[in-house]
Structure 1
Amino acid sequence: MFDFAGLRRDMSLTATGGGTGDMDSFDYDIAVIGRGPVGLTMAMSAAQHGMKTAVIEKHRDLYGLPRAGHVDHEIMRLFQKFGIVDDVLADCYPTTEYVWVNAHGETLLEFDWGETSVSGYNSDYMQFQPVFENALGRKLAAAPSNTDFLGWQLVSFEEAGGGVRCTIARTETAPGSHVPVVTDETQTFTARFLVACDGANSSVRQTLGIERDDLGFNEKWLVIDARKKRELAFEFDCGQICDPRRPTTVLPLGKRHRRWEWAVLPGEDPQSLLTEEAAWRLLGELGMGPDDLEIVRQLVYTFEARHAREWRRGPVFLAGDAAHTMPPFMGQGMCSGMRDAVNLAWKMDLVRRGIASDALLDTYEPERSPHTEAWTRISLEAGKVPCTLDPAQAEERDRKFRQGWLPPMPDFPQLRQGVIARNAAGAPLHLAGTLSLQRRVETAGKVLLADTVFGTGFTLLGLGFDPNEILNPQQKEGLERIGGSIVSVGDHGGGSARDAEGDYARWFEEQGICAVLTRPDFYLFGTAQTPADLGGLVDDLLSGLCLTAAAEASAT
């Protein structure tokens, strides 16, 4: 009963019912499996949409140690949306650069991480993961629509009336062990959707028999995280030491912690690196000792690149590491998973409210899978630089860098498919699928970041005019029905917010546009060059959202 292997490997879950009987309602809108950063993001996004959510986590407490160390500006904007950005910023380390040097200290690559981003924050930050997880956990615990099942594990699931019937079992952890095991105490409930945020070894993915493509990276690295006992200065603060004798990563983790990573060399026993003696030997080579640091985590990770071939099976969805894993060299693994969750949540909300048809959920994988695969390939190309272990190859690499060579990395990704505005040939319109601009606006005597003023649902923002004066009643009603806002920035009155620092005016002029239409996940659906383009832009959005017949009828 409790063995996933006992379930049918070819289980076919459909969203049209016909399994164990139809149901008029579900106990929960979403069952989230796993309470790591992706599961927390999924549950918090669902809570903000008012969706009733069950979060199943086999451990009783949040994992108290860091895993991912990097977040980018898009994730900081998400923390703003969740109301925890001040908690995160209090311990975050805003990085100004990410540098890769060779064995002689020569700079090979340098990423500018100090600029102000389109999202209104520094482009990149290093952070201590338990800080934001604890802040998110507190927010989630206070959400009336959320139920946490801590110390429970999903043991079976089956199709039920167009949703999923889940059976969970209470877990126990024996003294001295960190591995929970299931007991005979069980509960069963139903959910409209199930989202598997249960990591790279996802039991849900394995139960469904979904295969993953191996993109060709399997490397073991020793990771040591440490708390600083005193203030320390580092000549090399954040980056990769691309030394073929042993590639090394050096990173801050917020303001109080540090991380070091070392490649496990060919023929080396990984277990030999897990002793206290080995830790202080490696740290000592970098000038660190017990008077400087307290080691809080020491383990060997296998960095891999895997991509699931399916992200949806009926009402069951994969997100985060359950769907994709990537090497850590660009710091985009966790960030990508959190993007998955935000993308999925607003679509599920429209479907469960009967506004959009189930077909809208078919846009999840086409939007997110290419985006994460692009980041994976960028990370793979980047990882080839420090992972060069042959001294002759490393010297040739260094010579090429001195001559101006750069790795053949793909462009940073944007949405190219799904719910974005397109021209007649099917190509994305200007800026569609890119992140929207967030800057400071003034309203009621206060200067705030725009999302705080305008909200983070669908947002139609006009510069210097009120879009309400352009749209017809049906278009305005359609935006209202999907939870949209119609706002403006400028000094023209009509309840607009003032462009506090002129950033919107400059950016709109550079782009040759007068309005933008932003999705709830911060991506632009599209832009308008003139006010006359607004009606068509809104019509295209409403059409692209796969509105149900009832929703379309109410807007006419």
Structure 2
Amino acid sequence: MSDNLYDVVIIGAGPVGLTAAGLLGHYGHTVAVIERHPSLYNLPRAGHIDHEIMRVVQLLGCAETFLTDAVACDTYTLKNGEGELLAEFPWSSAGISGWPSDFMMYQPVLEDALYSRAVDDPHVTFRRGFEVHGITTHDDYVEVHATAAASPDDFEGPAGDQQELIVRGRYLIGADGGRSFVRDWLGTEREDLGFSEMWLNADCRRKRPVAMDFDSGQWCDPRRPLTVFPLGKRHRRFEWALLPGETPEEMSKPAVAWELLSHLGLTSQDLSIVRQHVWKFEAKIAREWQRGRVFLAGDAAHTMPPFQGQGMCSGIRDVTNLAWKLDLVLRGISDAALLATYQEEREPNLRAWTTLSIETGRLTCTLDTEEAERRDKAYRNGTVEPMPQIPPLSGLVHEGPGAGELSLQSKVRRGDTVGLFDDVVGTGFTILSTVAEPASVLQAEQQAFLKALGAQIVYVGTDDSADITDIDGGYTRHLAERGWDVVITRPDFYVFGGGPLTGLGAMVDELAVLLKTKQTR
């Protein structure tokens, strides 16, 4: 089997690969997805997304399906081994992206939605059941060699021969997980950030309502740290740290999980175990995420402990960043040099989340009783060291306050249509002003450049003179707080820059230069 030349080949059809396929298909590019599993994996791994990722899910038209089972979080609770409340974190606040701050979810529901979106896109082709065994690079394309095992003669039909598959693409994204073939092929080393712990995971389906001391959070008990939280509306996750001397083989026995669940007052009358597995939590970052036309994304590029719920989220951020840049290059608007900014932009954010996840794990999950007592005392006294902060995006952004932050999504009205901005107006590059029509201060060449980008150029206000009505005044307040008349937002929802309307032309010119486009002055 040999395919025509695709714009992008993606290896791996997990949530990161599916998101990449959906986004690139949305941009109108042909995509081939190669996956070794013949069907969706259908077991949970990640259990959380935040409002930023929810906005990507919205862009792909998957929000309604996802929300049938997802749970918007309320409070995340920390208690010590004696049941003393250490801290409560309110997670029910509205995120700037237009959605609640955090969701707990059952991953197969998300994957089903992402897969349905991608498989229905005529730009996207799936090749399932194929194991990749070779990659060859050429000057203007990449060639992937894969094999499907011979099928046996059984009740489903006669035996089938082994199939060989060759797929060619202008670019290749390796989204093939922590044991990535693509990363091994690149030969890139991974930096080990020095975190390694073994935890038992039991994902359970609820048979009836389950009463817990708290819905989401951690028992910071040095005798055995425990994490509990819902996986959507029908499932729950329980995670216990392995103690010294315990082995994955021993802890993987069903009797062990039931014994630990019994300490929480739970039995087989309450739950059924969907998956029991010992995970090794590690923090490793590939040193090279791109070589020529080949890219790494998600767990293939980085892994982190789960204590901030940002592993899968970070992978989706990867491909959201990469997809719009590939779009500009494939459309001939930007030079291929733009793609070098992928790792430059993504790694600082990923490294910050990884550091925060490590520090959270070390603080809350220590097995040292003396260290745990010092931690508890610090919580009581309000002297806990502040956690590392996530910096704003740096790279292809305008210098100035607010640049590199996530952009606001609020409710608007256009004509008789009311909804969140992306659904009503659209996505991509956006020029939004709350004082006047942005195009009124732009030269013809600048408007032509923005048209080539496919940018949305809108005046959002509270009166009838505006293109779009700012229903709750969200945009008016948000820009006024920052002293802006206008803001430029990138397709990955990060702010390029904001400022006075009189400075918009200069910002547009700067954007053109940074994108290395053929429209530069």
Q: Are 1:465 and 2:442 matched, yes or no?
A: no
Q: CA deviation at 1:456?
A: 1.1
1:212-227 equivalences in 2 (<5 Å): 212-227=190-205
1:165-184 equivalences in 2 (<5 Å): 165-171=143-149, 184=162
Q: Are 1:259 and 2:237 matched, yes or no?
A: yes
Q: CA deviation at 1:353?
A: 1.2
Q: What is the CA deviation profile of residues 175-201 of structure 1, one whole-angstrom value per residue up to 9, with x for unaligned ones?
A: 9xxxxxx98421213211110001111
Contact 1:26 / 1:192 at 8 angstroms: preserved in 2? no
Match of 2:425 in 1: 454
* Distance (whole Å) between structure 2 residues aligned to residue 220 and residue 286 of structure 1: 21
1:203-242 equivalences in 2 (<5 Å): 203-242=181-220
- Give every structure 1 segment of 4 or more consecutive aligned residues whose post-TM-superposition deviation is greater than 3 Å: 171-175, 491-495
Determine which of 20, 35, 42 is the counterpart of 1:57: 35
Q: Are 1:72 and 2:82 matched, yes or no?
A: no
Q: CA deviation at 1:172?
A: 5.7
* Distance (whole Å) between structure 2 residues aligned to residue 204 and residue 189 of structure 1: 15
Letter of the 1:420 counterpart: V
Letter of the 1:110 counterpart: E
> What's the secondary structure of 2:364's corresponding residue?
coil
> What's the secondary structure of 1:27's corresponding residue?
strand
TM-score by length of 1: 0.90
Structure 2 portions without partners, runs of 5+: 154-159
Contact 2:20 / 2:323 at 8 angstroms: preserved in 1? yes
Match of 1:372 in 2: 350
Q: CA deviation at 1:493?
A: 4.5
* Distance (whole Å) between structure 2 residues aligned to residue 297 and residue 93 of structure 1: 20
Q: Are 1:514 and 2:485 matched, yes or no?
A: yes
Match of 1:9 in 2: none
Determine which of 30, 51, 57 is the counterpart of 2:8: 30
* Distance (whole Å) between structure 2 residues aligned to residue 189 and residue 261 of structure 1: 40
Match of 1:545 in 2: 515
Contact 2:461 / 2:468 at 8 angstroms: preserved in 1? yes
Match of 1:83 in 2: 61
* Closer/same/farther in 2, CA of residues 144 and 328 from structure 1, 3 Å limit: same
Q: What is the CA deviation profile of residues 155-190 of structure 1, one whole-angstrom value per residue up to 9, with x for unaligned ones?
A: 111112322111111146889xxxxxx984212132
Q: What is the CA deviation profile of residues 72-129 of structure 1, one whole-angstrom value per residue up to 9, with x for unaligned ones?
A: 0001111110111111112111111111111112222332211011011110010011
Letter of the 1:156 counterpart: G
Q: What is the CA deviation profile of residues 444-485 of structure 1, one whole-angstrom value per residue up to 9, with x for unaligned ones?
A: 223200111221110000103111111111111000101111
Determine which of 379, 398, 402 is the counterpart of 1:431: 402
Q: What is the CA deviation profile of residues 54-89 of structure 1, one whole-angstrom value per residue up to 9, with x for unaligned ones?
A: 000000111111100010000111111011111111
Match of 2:326 in 1: 348
Match of 1:118 in 2: 96
Number of residue-to-residue matches in the alignment:
513
Match of 1:16 in 2: none
Letter of the 2:478 counterpart: W
* Closer/same/farther in 2, CA of residues 312 and 26 from structure 1, 3 Å limit: farther
Structure 1 portions without partners, runs of 5+: 1-24, 176-181, 423-428
* Distance (whole Å) between structure 1 residues aligned to residue 310 and residue 391 of structure 2: 12
Letter of the 2:311 counterpart: G
Cα RMSD (Å): 1.7
Letter of the 1:64 counterpart: N
Q: CA deviation at 1:542?
A: 1.1
1:312-391 equivalences in 2 (<5 Å): 312-391=290-369
Determine which of 433, 441, 446 is the counterpart of 2:412: 441
Letter of the 2:505 counterpart: G
Contact 1:465 / 1:492 at 8 angstroms: preserved in 2? no
* Distance (whole Å) between structure 2 residues aligned to residue 125 and residue 479 of structure 1: 35
Bigger shift: 382-391 or 144-153? 382-391
* Closer/same/farther in 2, CA of residues 225 and 173 from structure 1, 3 Å limit: farther
Match of 2:157 in 1: none
Contact 1:320 / 1:337 at 8 angstroms: preserved in 2? yes
Q: Are 1:159 and 2:137 matched, yes or no?
A: yes
* Distance (whole Å) between structure 1 residues aligned to residue 241 and residue 152 of structure 2: 33
Match of 1:535 in 2: 505
* Distance (whole Å) between structure 2 residues aligned to residue 71 and residue 283 of structure 1: 26
Letter of the 2:197 counterpart: E
Contact 2:151 / 2:162 at 8 angstroms: preserved in 1? no
Match of 2:447 in 1: 476
Bigger shift: 229-238 or 140-149? 229-238
Contact 1:377 / 1:409 at 8 angstroms: preserved in 2? no
